[in-house]
Chains A and B, each alone.
Chain A
């Protein structure tokens, strides 16, 4: 019985974590596959139902608008254009304060993929 209760508590907590908003400030890095260093990321997200807005960039002083942001269960997807490169994030929530996933970077003559790791700071 105790085992059942514990499992239920874990499920409820996990569901609550997944249901919690992604709104907030997230920081972390992305590393291009085949690249030699990690790039810092600060992402400020605002959730409105299944829609996501906000900004993202390498630092707080250099932020780019979040476009086409959407949340579907534990999947968080959005795009950012920093100029020549368009960043398409496809993240999975691993907990209330952690997201990991893939990033596709596209310019007019190049395409790269990267792995992203973010944790909530606020």
Chain B
């Protein structure tokens, strides 16, 4: 980098101190060494933020239904699926959470999408890697196992260093605004500075929360120690066992008292958690009991972490785990994850998370242009 060149460009920055030079070297080195991985984090993150919506966009015929009349029971839906797929056992039901989205039935070979109003089989999604699986694999572990995971978790740290050093370098001039033509150094310098400082807070939040996820084992152990020994008993209570008598059985269950229907299991689970929406019902053949997962709509942080297991014969609740039972450290980690994914405040925070992800390539590009220009100038 050439100091006189910067002065000639009228940028009047103070690069004279040793500290400034050192921090600039750190900023450049981190960007050059970790830039590609930070870029990957941003690009894949921007895909993952809207994964459910994009997935539905790619599979509209499997995802959407026209609401009409009554919704079929899970048993009726299951019967239709079993007929269509030659009696293949049903692993679980994923009831639709909104009126215009299809219900799904999990079979060993894949997931069948069903119109819950007509029973029409919309199609099957077979198991295997999709573009979203790849994006997740790259985001978390660079699609290359243990080494990739180490690289990506340290890329989060690199991003933190880059942001902190960027702030230090920006501070003396505190430039905000863009000047010069797009081919000038000044333009790219201003873009890098202005976009960087305006997006600093959300980028910092994504980098911190991402780094915590990358080092979750260590963070969990640290938080466990911080929140005290009392947490251990709280964690144990997550899987507290209880016996709750079921409400009287319906006529159809009296005919076949050995096994209650999945719909009955859902009714029992809903009675346990009023207001919660069941989003998954696992059959007793798979796991030994009906396992009903419920979502608490008001709780975006841990609302989906409710599970009620129901005995298939007696209808008694054999155990339950509830989001309210989470220990402080588990709740902190769940909140951290909800912030990182943008789920914490719903659509508004998801859009912000997406915009922040998209800014990463902009910063990488403007930084690269600056570095190349300076390198060329230094050579000449």
Contact = CB atoms under 8 A, between A and B. Distances in A.
Interface residues of B, number: 32
A20 interface: no
A41 to B, nearest CB: 14
Interface stretch (B73-81, B145-153, B295-303): B145-153
A48 B226 CA distance: 52
Contact of A83 (B55, B106, B130): B106
Contact of A111 (B110, B125, B129, B140): B129
Sort chain A's interface into a size bin. Answer: 20 to 34
Contacts of B129: 109-111
Interface string B126-166: 11111011001100110011101100000000000000000
B128 A106 contact: yes
A64 B126 contact: no
Contacts, number: 74
B108 A108 contact: no
Nearest to A79: B108
B92 interface: yes
A84 B93 CA distance: 10
The B interface is mostly helix, strand or loop, or mixed, namely mixed
B287 interface: yes
Interface string A50-81: 00000001000111110100000000000101
A79 B127 CA distance: 13
Contact of A109 (B108, B132, B286): B132
B16 interface: no
Contact of B127 (A33, A62, A63, A86): A86
A83 B284 CA distance: 12
B282 interface: yes
A49 interface: no
A34 B108 contact: no
A3 interface: no
B282 A83 contact: yes
B53 interface: no
A33 B145 contact: yes
Nearest to A111: B129
Nearest to B104: A108
Contacts of B110: 108
A67 B111 contact: no
B55 A109 contact: yes
A37 interface: yes
Interface of B: 55, 91-92, 106, 108, 110-111, 125-130, 132-133, 136-137, 140-141, 144-146, 148-149, 216-217, 280, 282, 285-288
The 9 closest A-B pairs by CB, nearest first: A34-B141, A33-B145, A110-B133, A106-B127, A109-B130, A34-B149, A81-B108, A111-B129, A108-B125
Given A33-B141, A108-B125, A109-B133, 12 more contacts: A33-B145, A34-B144, A36-B216, A64-B286, A65-B286, A81-B91, A84-B106, A106-B128, A107-B127, A108-B126, A108-B130, A109-B129
